[in-house]
Amino acid sequence: MDILLLVDLQNDFLPGGTLPVIHGDQVIGVANQLQQHFDTTLATQDWHPPHHSSFAANHPGHQAGEVLELYGIAQMLWPVHCVQETPGAEFAPQLNTRQIQQVFAKGTDPQIDSYSGFFDNGGQRSTGLEEHLRQYAAIRLFVMGLATDYCVQFTVLDALRLGFETVLVTDGCRGVDQSAGDSAAAVTRMNSEGARLMTSDRVLRERLTTS
């Protein structure tokens, strides 16, 4: 069974948001198109409390882009983004959300960030996504969204570690690229750990011939 997982398609990661991913808006159409060919679509949502420890604003004297050690884990500081119940945390208005069966919130614990849609960055608390996927006997997980070098990458690497067959939809992702080449390196890493790389065109052709 094929499942489409949309990672963090939220206003703050789009142009005009507080943590904009360049051309992030270009993947919304890909998500809408793919959804029409999947019976099951799930989504993750970055969902931080206002006092989240990943926000530079909560560390006076420090700036976004700096890395601090917080509670024993290296934490990149980010601009305030995806604060619970604010417009920035909402899904992109152009995104078709009617077919999303379940949304998994992440980054809700103020003390620890969560790039992966499965677990926080300490690998401790589950979002419930793994348990949800385990109800299916055999799945292929098709992952796309924002950002390639953070939440998409950590979600895909956890999916592979958990033993799920995983496909990265390459044109459905855009990255932060804080350092040049981060996204390309992330794609190479996901691929080398076992993720298959496919364009959305290829996914659609495959879905049309197998279902």
Instruction: Summarize as ranges the residues that interact with Zn ion (CB under 5 A).
Output: 46, 107
Q: Residue 106 catalytic?
A: yes
Residue 144 site contact among Zn ion, ligand VGL, none (CB < 5 to 8 Å, cut-off depends on kind): none
Q: Give every strand in the sheet of 40-46, ordered side by side.
A: 100-106, 40-46, 2-7, 140-146, 165-174, 196-198
Q: Residue 113 catalytic?
A: no
| Active-site pick, 8, 25, 113, 120 | 8
Q: Would you tell me which residues interact with ligand VGL (CB under 6 A)? A: 8, 13, 46, 78, 146-147, 150-151
Sign of the C-alpha dihedral, residues 155, 22, 196, 140?
Answer: positive
Q: 133 or 151, CB closer to ligand VGL?
A: 151
Q: 25 or 46, CB closer to Zn ion?
A: 46
Q: What is the DSSP letter of 169?
A: E
Nearest approach, Cβ of residue 114 and Zn ion (Å): 8
| Active-site pick, 2, 151, 158, 173 | 151
Residue 150 site contact among Zn ion, ligand VGL, none (CB < 5 to 8 Å, cut-off depends on kind): ligand VGL
Q: Give burial (CB, 10 Å; 0-12/13-18/19+) of 135.
A: exposed
Q: What is the DSSP letter of 172?
A: E
Name the β-bridge partners of 143. Answer: 5, 168
Active-site residues, by number, are: 8, 106, 151
